[in-house]
Amino acid sequence: MEIEDAMPVPRSDEKRPWIPVRYLMVILAFFGFCNLYALRVNMSIAIVSMVITNSSNGESHENTGQDVCPHPNKSSSSHVVTGEFVWDSQTQGIILGSFFYGYIFTQLAGAEIAKRYGPKHPFGFSVLISGLLALLIPTAARWSTGALITIRTLQGFFQGVCFPSMHSFLGNWAPTLERTKMATIAYSGTQTGTVISLLLSGWIAEWAGWEWIFYTFGACACVWYLFWVFLAFDSPERHPSISQVERAYIVGASGKSKVVVANPSVPWRKIFLSLPVWAICVAHFGNNWGFYTLLTNLSTYFSTILHFSLKENGFLSALPYLAMAVFMPICGYFADSLRSFRVLSTTGVRKVFHVTGQLLPAVCLVSVGYVGCNSSLAVALLVLAVASSAFAQSGYQVNHVDISPNFAGILMGISNTLATVPGIVGPYVVGLITSSSLGQLEQWRLVFFISAGVYVVTAIFYAIFASGELESWERKTVRDDVEEDRETLPVYSKDPRI
């Protein structure tokens, strides 16, 4: 055992900032995730304008089924050719899924790097390098399909460290009773970036060409990195200008005692035998199956089935994620309030929120399968499906830090590795289904049913085995005689500005 430097004594006359430093860190992380997800999802809109189409409504040259919804403005004499690449449904599925070919390999590596060297630089480099690679996509696409897939795979490879790094970052900066709120603020950047990308990509493609989708978002990522590298710090202890009051509060209420085992080794065997860890992994897998299926294919569904134009497509594809971006911080605040006022235990909050965030989307997706060509109802149900999944972000998404603050990055690396499989398999499965002999409405009904089934099964597993308490192997890194009572936080910690 080693005793770390003593916590600085708070000064009562110290000036308190208008915005706490820990929330400035979270805001920077929020914009980082905005860039990461804008770079991740822009291909979903760009591919609609990249692929050769030969109809008035922008449908693919490939005829994939029998049951086609009527196009409101379709005329028999119209014939417009757009796009420049001849990619069938399966090829498009491979391109959309190629990001995850690289993403799956760097989850644990990212966690280990963040644990050894700090989370700031791994997260920052993931945004910067992904942005630089985006600038190469137009050239790669015109060179060959293989080159495009390679660039997207490399983007995924470098983005793979972002979530494990951020979990380590939050483990350093988030006090216990603000954990859900801070995590959902940071991670709501994923939805906001998705919204921005989907909204702007259609407009950019129509007015400047699809190439500028990648140029624009690649440049934004590079600009963000300049702010991150100068303003972000690994932990409160390393921040040069944080107040002593706030530093003392964060360290004292972060869930990491000041007396710990020096550089504790990762208890790999115990981690992989832990049912709460597997509950997180299964829940993460199930949530990502539905999320990635919609994220990568919603634009295609709106284009080929409901026949929305490119501008309409971008706007309507963004609506579900805009709703989710709004609901995520609200759910996080509500979840932490239930814990603070002891209405529910941490375990109860995680289970209730996660199960709600997967069963509601399942019901909505099953319903979408039966609305047929009713575009208004289909859009409304899809918006509700994605928005209601915001509840799950206050469940499994922050559960890693609950059970092991010291190894939260490692746990995120493990769960996100398994949860990347849907990103690889999902688009390919959708490509196979939508190129089958089934009618188009039947094809997409099957896609939605599979996602709903995965939601339900994984939610049940999480409800049975999840936990919000420290695992035994985490408690062994803290001396029992100095483990802090989190109900007796200092008086100064009650000031909301701290």
Q: Which residues are paired to 85 by β-bridges?
A: 51
Mean pLDDT for the stretch of residues 465-490: 63
Mean pLDDT for the stretch of residues 417-437: 83
Q: Does domain 18-54+82-255 have CATH number 1.20.1250.20?
A: yes
3-state secondary structure (DSSP) of residue 406: coil
430, containing H or E segment: helix 421-434
3-state secondary structure (DSSP) of residue 231: helix
Relative orientation angle of helices 162-173 and 120-134, to the nearest 10 degrees: 150
Of the listed ranges 38-42, 64-68, 233-237, 318-322, the one predicted with least confidence: 64-68
Q: Is the pLDDT of residue 384 over 70?
A: yes
DSSP letters of 316-356? HHHHHHHHHHHHHHHHHHHHHHHHHTTSS-HHHHHHHHHHH
- The first and second tokens of residue 233, run together, are 């710090």
Q: Is the pLDDT of residue 19 over 70?
A: yes
Locus of tokens 């491979």: 94
Identical fold between 18-54+82-255 and 266-480: yes
pTM of the model: 0.76
Domains of the chain: which residue ranges?
18-54+82-255, 266-480
Q: Does domain 266-480 have CATH number 3.40.630.30?
A: no
Of the listed ranges 96-100, 185-189, 305-309, 371-375, the one predicted with least confidence: 305-309
Name residues whose C-beta falls within 8 Å of residue 281's C-beta, 6 or more positions apart in sequence: 414, 415, 418, 419
Minimal CA–CA distance to 294: which of 194, 372, 227, 219? 194
Establish how many alpha carbons lie within 13 A of residue 109's alpha carbon, considering only the half-sphere containing its beta carbon: 12
Q: What percent of the chain has pLDDT over 90?
A: 40
Task: List pLDDT tens digits, range 58-68.
Answer: 444 444 444 46
Find out whether 46 and 205 touch, Cβ atoms under 8 Å. Answer: yes
- As a whole number of angstroms, the distance between CA 228 and CA 189 comes to 15
Mean pLDDT for the stretch of residues 20-46: 92
- Rounded CA Rg of the chain: 23
- Per the rule left: phi > 0, alpha: psi between -120 and 50, beta: everything else, 235 is beta
